A and B are shown apart, each in its own frame.
Chain A
């Protein structure tokens, strides 16, 4: 995998390659832009280019490149919120980044820290990180990845080289998936729909699992629209429980489920009020979603999306019990059906 893989991100790629060619690699970068457009992939390729021992970095074949591909290079350190959590705290940053950045590399040329979802880093953790950003050692590169540049403190942003990764349209997404999955991706349009246009999701998940999740989310919405009954709650809760044994895993699965729900609600809204201007992700569900849309008014749909977003925050950021959050979500969503129509 090398730069060719990053379809549609010519400006960002050119900038990184210029830094490499002129040996003026910054000590800290921010890769920002929408989810699933290649930020993490770019960080990976950049890390390989920096650690590669081959002739034309990133060669993709030397031990360093292979280790980075398998996620086992000791000098390429990935930091992201713990499973089922939405924040990265000060202890986490201290242990994974600051404490390591003061050491010399283990086997590579440098140490590269890739902080995913940097908007989830707490203010306290960012403050602890500031000194590392201010007085970096030559062999440290920190890459902050975020969808939301404005969620980062200005003191941090000003110390990083910023690269914007732009959104990809459906054709560009199809091209990326075709290049990386080859023939293995099956129906690529279907995959783009199932992953709500997020390439990261499309590449990192089994399409059947995604389809199962969408099926469940769709069933849930249909259950909501149907006359009151308890089956939907129970179905939803058992779905969440079936996804993992640890509480972190349940939490993570509930989050993924809620995000799928949000995607479907968004598509229903698009079909109802903005068809022609915006394209729904789930193009294959057109009829079903239009039909479901008849049960809600536009204000009701917006209310419903708000409720789901609140639930996402509760489950991810606050230490609530996911099943309790889901139960109150069901009751809250029922109130949105028919509203404003």
Chain B
């Protein structure tokens, strides 16, 4: 291989793969490398993977001689960062060494055989679904925070993505709360669902924020692939059954209570400061008013009263304040709606207007 690539292009290319390069030494040292292959006369492909996530991109370059090499991605990035903006020449030498020249500087890197590099799924000419990048980013943002932090509950460590009747749906849960967002009319229809690990979602959100228009989604047996322009991210799927989330969403919560999102959030933040280690805040609904209360902790007690359109008998229900604040932070609409049944049944929080976002939260014993 012998290619010439602009320093800024190479820098951008290497930066894009840093997030998925294996940083620790593992059983497979090649995972610390980036695979660089010449594609035709005017492009190079950069590819990296940590076996959870794969990332590849096509970049402009002048190909003098085809071929491919692998070398340490971090080291190369460190060097390229310090280079002036000029042409960089990458030349494959004997014995898998790679020489890099820029102006008067010359560097040599040891390589590993490209044939040892894990293969990354190819999108080929498969059918894909196209979704606006901003929409998918928003859907991920509205669900991802509810993923379980417990690393041993594998099926809870990701967001479930499915499509059904032309509706794209993302669901996340940790067993205590569940966030579900839906968008229809996007034309996304791939029949069925997959669990995407949170590590992949983190990288995906970064890429989506830089992607101007739409993202193409390819569903494969073992991977889901997101293509944004010249960059492709592939995420290895989790093999397991996502919890039956539809059974968790209450259908018959008869009390619908409106609240000002910002006001409720501020009050909840204040009152929850004096909650005990369970973070529980009691919501006391009475005719015309809602009282938030904490007591029973060593640090003190607090309550705050606000007006409410509630009109039923007194209803006291305890919620983990952090779980409530998480969703109040995410919702953008000014008003939210509580749908409640009684003090023992799960509650639902959603924006008061518009459809497509539901947050279910399990009550705590008061």
What residues of chain A have their CB less than 8 Å away from a CB belonging to chain B? Answer: 63, 66-67, 70, 72, 74, 77-78, 94, 96, 98-99, 101-107, 137, 139
Interface, chain B (partner A; CB < 8 A) = 27-28, 30, 51-52, 115-116, 118-119, 121, 151-152, 154-155, 221-223, 236-240
Closest A residue by C-beta to B30: A72
B154 near A99: Cβ-Cβ < 8 Å? yes
Q: Which interface residue of B223, B237, B239 has the most chain A CB atoms within 10 A?
A: B239
Are A102 and B152 in contact, with the CB atoms below 8 A? no
Residue of B nearest to A77 (CB): B27
What separation, in Å, do the CA atoms of A296 and B71 have in the docked complex? 57
Min Cβ gap A46→B in Å is 19
Q: Are B152 and A104 in contact (CB under 8 A)?
A: no
B51–A104 CB distance below 8 A = no
Known A-B contacts A63-B115, A74-B51, A94-B152; A102 and B240 likewise in contact (beta carbons under 8 Å): yes
Docked pose: A98 CA to B238 CA in angstroms: 12
Instruction: Give bound CA distance, A99 to B116, whole Å.
Output: 23
The answer to whether A102 and B51 touch (CB under 8 A), given A70-B116, A72-B30, A72-B116, is no
Partner of A105, one of B151, B154, B155, B222: B222
Bound-state Cα–Cα, A63 to B113, Å: 13
Question: Smallest CB–CB gap between A238 and chain B, Å?
Answer: 29
Give bound CA distance, A102 to B52, whole Å: 11
Chain B residue contacts of A106, Cβ below 8 A: 51, 118-119, 222, 236
Given contacts A66-B115, A74-B51, A103 and B30 within 8 Å (CB-CB): no
Residues of A within 8 A of B222 (CB): 104-106
Cα(A63)–Cα(B114), bound, Å: 12
Inter-chain contacts of A101 with B (CB < 8 A): 239
Is the pair B238, A74 in contact by a Cβ cutoff of 8 Å? no
Cβ A78 vs Cβ B118 within 8 A: no
In the assembled complex, 11 residue pairs joining A and B whose CB atoms fall closer than 8 Å, in A order, are A63-B115, A63-B119, A66-B115, A103-B236, A103-B238, A104-B223, A104-B239, A105-B222, A106-B51, A107-B118, A107-B121
Q: Nearest chain-B residue to A131 (Cβ)?
A: B152
List chain A residues, Cβ under 8 A from B223: 104
Most B Cβ at <10 Å: residue of A70, A74, A94: A74
**Bound Cα distance A98, B223 (Å):** 19
Determine if A107 and B119 form an interchain contact, defined as CB atoms under 8 angstroms apart: yes
